[in-house]
Amino acid sequence: MALVYQPVMQLSGILVSLLGWVLSCLTTYLPQWKNLNLELNELEIWTMGLWQACVVQEEGGMQCKDFDSFLALPPELRISRILMFFSNGSGLLGLLLSGFGLDCLKIGERQQEQKKRLLLFGGMLFWISGITAIVPVSWVAHSTVQEFWDENIPDIVPRWDFGEALFVGWLAGFCLILGGSLLNCTICSAEVHPSSVHYAVAEQQDQCQRLETETRP
């Protein structure tokens, strides 16, 4: 049964990781990391991302302006850009390595050890990609909460709130870590399975020898 479930777990792991990688790339370019509702003008919603700030009007229009300088950004946005790029790159490399390590792929059927190493490295890269996707969105969320409850800011000043991109980033990190865990679990089960089969065969041989000795006159 382990041999049957192993390819299914591998495909599930790489599909979940692929979903997480797509969501991570989407999080990087979404402008909704922070939302700002103006009480004086409820027809407009300001949003801020890693690359630009936008104004969404109730009529359906959306105007965006790119940030002029990287150094002028807040520290959490500068580091978030770097971490999200690293997350996307490591996730893409993990997809390539783990894809060549799948058992259902006919390439390299006689090189099972190398394919296991590819799956292991791919799973570890998915873990790294997931962690580096969760860290920036969590950092931005933490700074947003601190600014929201800052008593030094007058109550009349509008406060930034969580944007949709933060939730997409958390989901992306969870999918990447889950996908990497599934891939690594298939490697562990593949290592345990031959020993268990060997033990079962040895036990069956012992039983047969006992029956032969008992049936002898």
SS3 34: strand
CATH of the domain at 136: 1.20.140.150
3 state DSSP class of 70: coil
Query: Residue 133 domain-assigned?
Result: yes
Parent domain of 185: 1-32+74-190
Q: Judge whether 206 lies within some domain.
A: no
Give a yes or no: residue 214 inside a domain. Answer: no
pLDDT bin (cut points 50, 70, 90) of residue 190 is: low
Tell me the pLDDT of the chain averaged across its residues: 81
pTM of the complete model beyond 0.75 = yes
Joined together, the tokens standing for residue 125 give 């890269």
The confidence score (pLDDT) of residue 117 equals 86
Domain assignment present for 84:
yes
Burial class (CB in 10 A: 0-12, 13-18, 19+), 93: middle
Q: Are 86 and 135 in contact (CB under 8 A)?
A: no
Report CA torsion sign: 142, 129, 32, 77. Answer: positive
Q: How many domains does the chain have?
A: 1
Tokens 């930034």 sit at which residue?
A: 160
Would 60 be classed as within a structural domain?
no
pLDDT at 45 (0 to 100): 83
Whether residue 104 is contained in a domain is answered as: yes
Q: Give the separation between CA 169 and CA 22, rounded to whole angstroms.
A: 10
Other C-beta atoms closer than 10 Å to the C-beta of 71 total: 6
Q: Which residue has the higher pLDDT, 103 or 146?
A: 146
Q: Is residue 47 in some structural domain? A: no
pLDDT tens sequence across 103-136: 776 665 666 778 888 889 999 999 999 999 999 9
Q: Cα(197)–Cα(140) distance, rounded to whole angstroms?
A: 50
Query: 115: closest CA among 106, 103, 126, 124?
Result: 103
Res 74: pLDDT: 86
What secondary structure does DSSP assign to 159-170, as a single string?
--EE-HHHHHHH
Q: Helix 2-29 vs helix 75-100: angle between axes, to the nearest 10 degrees?
A: 150
Residue 205 in any domain: the answer is no
Q: Does residue 3 carry a pLDDT above 70?
A: no
Residue 1 above 80 pLDDT? no
